[in-house]
Structure 1
Amino acid sequence: MTALPTPLVSTDWLADHLDDPDVRILDATVHLAAPEPGSTQWSQRSGHDDYLAAHIPGAAFADIIDDLSEPDGGWFTKPSPARFAAAAGRLGIGPDSRVVVYSLDPFWATRVWWLLRANGFDNVAVLDGGFRKWTAEGRPTRAGAESYPAAGFVGSPRPQLFAELAEVERVVESGSGACLINSLSPQDHHATQTNSYPRPGRIPGSVNVFVGALLDPADGTFRPVDELREIFADVLARPGRKVTYCGGGIAATGDALALTLLGEADVAVYDGSLREWTSDPRLPLEVG
């Protein structure tokens, strides 16, 4: 089995490997809309229609909303290992596959990348710049649905790649054990009011590294490693485990990918994130 070069592959790399028989390309697009005033209900819409209209040749559609989330777990809750393995197998991901994930908003792709790694599959990369960069460069697309032959997914789950509520509570109570990283914008991090969650605020003690700042605004690619290291300087100065969170465990995977690029080995995503934390009135928040 040939390993992918890094957690990120370029559009040039993918163009050169489109026809490799072991490559599995996944479109993971989802559309998310913020709540209307007076509501805390976000709306979600599958990107399947976009995929049918145009996708990278050969790509299959990875359905995060239904197939790659636990149906009764709430907002994009990580699926059980058995549910994930079944979905990955339907997507054609076997032990010898090389998987490249893309989306319109890159952090849906990083979510699938993280789910695969958390389920013991490492030969996966995110397309740097995603579908927007691919099409901006005039590269080919196809319409309609495509699929790969079903496969037997093989992977040993790594539960340590996700942080559960109890772990985050222990970190907050003790002030140690991990560095908590809020991937949302500075405005969200310092908010005194919100229509996105039941209560405003951030998890106490957390550091803010806005996931949007990790991307080059010109083409949507991740910034070079030296620039990422500067952005994460405060985080990297703190030894030990790094736990990222956001609103619902999606954007947090973008920070997790960047930390992985920077060589951090003990990184986790708090899957429940602020939707879970702010829903429990007994849990503390820092506001402002």
Structure 2
Amino acid sequence: MATPLRIATVNVNGVRAAYKKGMAEWLAERNVDILALQEVRATTEILEDLLGPEWDILHDGATAKGRAGVALASRNKASIHRVALGADDFDSAGRWLEADYEVGNSIVTVVSTYVHSGVVDTPKQDEKWKFLDAMNERLPELAAHNPLSLIVGDLNVGHREIDIKNWRGNRTSAGFLPRERAYFDRFFGPEGETVTGVDGSTGPGHGWVDVGRQWAGEVDGPYTWWSQRGQAFDNDSGWRIDYHMATPALAATVKHYTVDKASAWDTRWSDHSPVVVDYLVD
């Protein structure tokens, strides 16, 4: 018999602040089985205290205190977990956390990741390139490790024009640079085929599935992040930068996808909205 599995991902923009603004109430109502968090910005002890003893918590904090941090919280304990991404001299702390979970008769691998936001022509963007390069190498390894694999989190790249409301005004901004988007062309391109990216570069496709785009179709959004500036939220002038990236076998089990957008600006507990997906795993 297939087993239902609800996985949610959200950049909390500081878990303590999120809890003060209403995250606990949201979580209590959503019946999530695996919760992926980014920008935790707290210690493991604080995270455990906030979520409570019913959750098994894995947390990888950033090297710099009070920055980044990714976590996976689950109803059932992970069988194994891994951290670090890329070369040994690359600091990926607080940005990549993998775990294997027993779901029914299967193992599902889930990654919570927080890609650098980047700033054009600065060392911050250089770190983003390194991270995206490391992801590009890790994707086929993950698929080989487990055909039921999932990468979720704040990937800080809007893949296509329909993923950003004001795409014309952001063509030279970090998060929508052609070179950044080309990585995603390869991530989601047909496995093994040569993919030409939006920037003209070529490389092999990895065959992963953008669950949000697969579910929503060729429509604007649905957006997952809105700037705190101006009336971005009220005008729905957002970016779709929070993803469920699944291997084809896992993507085939999706039963529902939703972005839990707040009803109003003043009811938000993060500048990102949770992305919640229901899978049905054999």
Q: Confirm or deny a common fold (TM above 0.5).
A: no
- Rg larger in structure: 1
TM-score, normalised on structure 1? 0.29
Superposition TM-score, scaled by structure 2 size: 0.29
